Structure 1
Amino acid sequence: MGEPYYFYVLLCADGTFYGGYTRDVGARVATHNAGKGAKYTQTRRPVRLLYAEAFADQHAALSAEWHFKHQSRAAKEAFLQAHHIQWR
């Protein structure tokens, strides 16, 4: 098995959540905070990593990202609470 892919959740400076996927979580968060990540996070820095989960393949990580991004704010908060993540 190769390196895992990760689904991750960031807390943006404006209080919103951002979900993404990567092979290297630390480097990706640094890229977001440098203003070179996703367009969404460029104006919402700094960002803070809240959650990361490893997956064996890219498809599974992308699927987790897609499902997170297509939830309501309340559902995203419930997901984080279920994983004992504090963001406030």
Structure 2
Amino acid sequence: MPHVYMLRCADGSYYVGSTRDLQKRLQQHATGLGSRYTSSRMPVELVWSQETETIPQAYALEKQVQGWSRAKREALIADQWDVIVKRSRRRGGRPPGG
């Protein structure tokens, strides 16, 4: 099944990716073959993952999370959905769409 995942790099930054095979991809990251970004920031640690039903869903979620602030990513890791919702509101306190 496809997955979206987030790694914490040795420098404290986060890397968000998606894959068809999570265990294989994590092994690639651990050996420095996962991506140019993570290979220069090793070691890396899996801090969050989400299984999806389809590859397009995984890719869309990957792109969404990549666009999030550090605070929203950390709320996702901590499973603090109330913080994510709060940080998703538009400036001025209005919820999106109204």
**Max Rg structure:** 2
- Offset from partner CA, 1:3-46 (integer Å, 9 cap, x none): x2100111111111111111111111110121111111010111
Distance 1:63 1:18 in 2: 15
Moved over 2 A (4+): none
Structure 2 residue runs of 5 or longer lacking an equivalent are 81-98
Q: Which structure exhibits the higher relative contact order, with contacts defined as CA atoms closer than 8 Å and separated by 6 or more residues?
A: 1
TM-score (norm 2): 0.76
Say which SS state the counterpart of residue 82 (structure 1) adopts: coil
Identity %: 35
- 1:35 touches 1:41 (CA, 8 Å); kept in 2? yes
| Residues 1:65 and 2:62 are matched in the alignment | yes
Structure 1 residue runs of 5 or longer lacking an equivalent are 84-88
Aligned to 1:12: 9
| Residues 1:36 and 2:65 are matched in the alignment | no
